[in-house]
Amino acid sequence: MEIRLANVNDCEAILHIFDEAKAYLKGQNINQWQNGYPNKESTMEDIHHQNCYVLCDGKEVIATATIIFDDDPNYHYIENGSWLATSPYGVIHRIACDPKYKGQGLTSMFFEYAKSAEEKGYKVMIAGAGKAAHLPGMCAALFPMPVIGVPMKTSDLGGVDSLYSIVQMPSGIPVATVAINGGKNAGILAAKILAASDPELLQKLKDYSEEMKNEVVSKAEKLDEIGYKEYVARMKK
C-alpha cells in the first residue's frame, strides 16, 4: 500500500468513499457530513491545491484525507477571537476509508505520513472529534508533541460521550482536554504551551488577559449602574 497525492482521476473513487462515510454517520445519528459536504467541488479544490491524499492498494483507492501543512483558509476567520501565534501549524480534514477495509487501522497511515509535522517544527496539535472521539488519542499516541483534544457536541448525549472518550486516555498517553465545543480555549492553551519558549507570544497572552480583565470590569460597572434587569434586557436586543 502507498500514500500519494490525489489527482483528478481519483475524484470519483474519493466521492464514493465519502458517500459510504455519510451513510455510516447517518446510521449512527451523527449529523456530520449530512448537508452535502464534502462534495465534488470541495474534493476537486483539495486536489487542485495538492492537499488531498489517497491510500492505494495497488490501483484501488481505499482511503483519503486532506492534509494541510500551510495556511488553512478554514482558520482565516475565527469567531470572537484571533490567532495569538504566528508559528506554523498542520491540520487533517476529511479523512475516510472504504468500508470494505474498515477495522484494519488503515487511516492511521495518514497520521504516520503526517508525522513529518515534527520535522517541520510543529510544537503542538489540536484535534477535535465527536462520538467515540478517537482522533485526539490517536494523535497523542503517534506524535511526541502535546495534543489538545476538543470534544464536539453530539446529537444524542450532547458531547459527554466525546468528552469521556478524550479525557480518559490510558496512563502514558495524555491528551489535554477542554470543554465540549471549546475550540477557543484549545487555541489559547496551545498558545500558552508555545509561549513557554516564545517571549513575544507570552507578552501577547499577557495583553490578551489584560483585555479580558478590563472587559469584565467594564461589564461589572455597567451592571452596577443600570441594574441587572436592564442589563439583561439590553443583552437580549
Q: Which residue has the higher pLDDT, 141 or 215?
A: 215
Task: State if pTM tops 0.75.
Answer: no
pLDDT at 82: 63
SS3 readout for the chain: CEEEECCHHHHHHHHHHHHHHHHHHHHCCCCCCCCCCCCHHHHHHHHHCCCEEEEEECCEEEEEEEEECCCCHHHCCCCCCCCCCCCCCCEEEEEEECHHHCCCCCCHHHHHHHCHHHHCCCCCEEEEECCCCHHHHHHHHHCCCCEEEEECCCCCCCCHHHHHHHHCCCCCCCCEECCCCCHHHHHHHHHHHHHCCCHHHHHHHHHHHHHHHHHHHHHHHHHHHHCHHHHHHHHHC
pLDDT over 70 (residue 194) = yes
pLDDT at 156: 64
When pLDDT is averaged across residues 14-42 and rounded to a whole number, the result is: 86
pLDDT at 216: 93
pLDDT over 70 (residue 49) = yes
Report the candidate in 124, 127, 122 with the shortest Cα–Cα distance to residue 183.
127
Q: What is the pLDDT of residues 54-88, one digit of tens each?
A: 999 888 998 998 887 666 666 666 666 666 656 66
pLDDT at 188: 93
Q: How many CB atoms lie within 10 A of CB 118?
A: 15
pLDDT at 72: 61
Tell me if 21 sits within 8 A of 96, measured CB to CB.
yes
- Round the average pLDDT of the chain to a whole number and report it: 83
pLDDT at 87: 62
Query: What is the spatial distance between Cα 19 and Cα 96, in angstroms, rounded to a whole number?
Result: 10
pLDDT over 90 (residue 203) = yes
* Percent of the chain residues past pLDDT 70, beyond the cut: 82
Q: The CATH number of 123-197 is which of 3.50.30.10, 3.40.630.10, 3.40.50.720, 3.40.50.1970?
A: 3.40.50.1970
Query: What is the spatial distance between Cα 86 and Cα 88, in angstroms, rounded to a whole number?
Result: 7
If pLDDT is split at 50, 70 and 90, which confidence band does 138 have?
confident
Q: Which residue has the higher pLDDT, 161 or 44?
A: 44
Domain-wise residue ranges, the chain: 1-121, 123-197, 209-237
pLDDT at 80: 64
Q: What is the pLDDT of residues 87-136, one digit of tens each?
A: 666 677 788 888 888 777 776 767 666 666 677 677 888 887 766 556 78
pLDDT at 232: 87
What CATH superfamily is the domain 1-121?
Answer: Gcn5-related N-acetyltransferase (GNAT) (3.40.630.30)
Cα angle 117, 119, 120 (rounded to 5 degrees) comes to 60
Cell digits of residue 176 = 489535554
When pLDDT is averaged across residues 189-209 and rounded to a whole number, the result is: 93
Q: Edge to edge, what strands does the sheet with 176-177 contain?
A: 125-129, 147-151, 176-177
Q: What is the pLDDT of residues 156-184, one digit of tens each?
A: 678 888 888 888 888 888 999 999 988 88
Cα angle 9, 13, 16 (rounded to 5 degrees) comes to 145
Half-sphere exposure of 209 (CA within 13 A, CB side): 10
